[in-house]
Amino acid sequence: MCDLLSGWTTFGIGGRARRIEIARTRDELIGLSAEAIVLGRGSNILASDDGYDGIVAINRYERIERDGNTVTAGSGVRLGALCAFLAENGLSGLEWACGIPGSVGGAVRMNAGAFGGEISDRLSYAYVVRDGAEKRFACDELGFGYRNSALDDGDVVTDVTFELDSATPSAVRALGAEYADKRRATQPTGKSAGSVFKNPRGVSVGRIFDEAGLKGLRRGGAEISPKHANIIVNTGGATACDVCKLIAVMKDVLREKNVAAHEEIIYLGDFGG
Binding site for ligand FAD (CB under 6 A): 10, 37-45, 59, 75, 100-103, 105-107, 109-110, 112-114, 147, 151, 155-157, 192-194, 266
The least CB distance from residue 24 to ligand FAD, in Å, is: 13
- Of 91 and 142, which has the nearer Cβ to ligand FAD? 142
- Of 228 and 257, which has the nearer Cβ to ligand FAD? 228
14, 105 contact by CB (below 8 A): no
The least CB distance from residue 183 to ligand FAD, in Å, is: 7
12, 233 contact by CB (below 8 A): no
Q: Which of 6, 195, 219, 223 is catalytic?
A: 195
User: How far is CA 55 from each of CA 2, 11, 38, 152, 168, rounded to the nearest angstrom?
Assistant: 13, 20, 9, 16, 43
- Of 170 and 186, which has the nearer Cβ to ligand FAD? 186
- Of 110 and 164, which has the nearer Cβ to ligand FAD? 110
Going 33 to 7 to 241 to 233, the CA torsion angle's sign is: negative
Q: Is 178 a catalytic residue?
A: no
Query: CA–CA separation, 15 vs 115, rounded Å?
Result: 34
What is the side-by-side strand order in the sheet with 222-224?
218-219, 222-224, 232-234
157, 142 contact by CB (below 8 A): no
Q: Which of 19, 24, 66, 147 is catalytic?
A: 147
The least CB distance from residue 51 to ligand FAD, in Å, is: 16
On the 0-12 / 13-18 / 19+ scale of CB atoms within 10 A, 116 is: exposed
The least CB distance from residue 28 to ligand FAD, in Å, is: 12
The least CB distance from residue 211 to ligand FAD, in Å, is: 22
- Of 112 and 240, which has the nearer Cβ to ligand FAD? 112
Query: CA–CA separation, 264 vs 249, rounded Å?
Result: 16
Q: Is 183 a catalytic residue?
A: no
Q: Is 122 a catalytic residue?
A: no
Query: CA–CA separation, 228 vs 157, rounded Å?
Result: 31
Catalytic residues: 147, 195, 264
